[in-house]
Structure 1
Amino acid sequence: MATKFDEDSYAQRWHSETVMFMLKQRQGEALTARKHHTRRRGMALRCIAHNINDRLRQRRVSKGHA
């Protein structure tokens, strides 16, 4: 039975997969923490660092610096 393809959900998944790929490429794939809460904290810090780097890159591009 065919179901309707949800393009909005797929677009969101595509975006999250791209971000995860970028995080792994730039910061490595492995987390070194052993406890669950420290692994979550480490991943949150990686996400924050990614967002800061992305904003800085956008700012450089908008000012004409590549």
Structure 2
Amino acid sequence: MLSDMKFVSTLSSELLEHRVTEYRDSATSLLISVNTTDTGKTYRSLETAILTKRDGEWKIAHLHWSTAK
């Protein structure tokens, strides 16, 4: 995950949509963006996160990234 985070930090990103749905002590987050690399390559990215609330704080239980050209 560290290498993914390092790569993502080099991108220029445009947020297209971000939806969060909460269900008591769990929530889902869906994020869609368009990312551009330093070489000009552009692709669409989808991030899905499932969160759980523990002791009053939200914690990531599952995280998934995918990209499409």
Q: TM-score range by the shorter chain?
A: under 0.3
| TM-score (normalised: structure 1) | 0.27
Question: Higher helix share goes to which structure?
Answer: 1
Greater relative CO (CA pairs within 8 A, separation 6+): 2
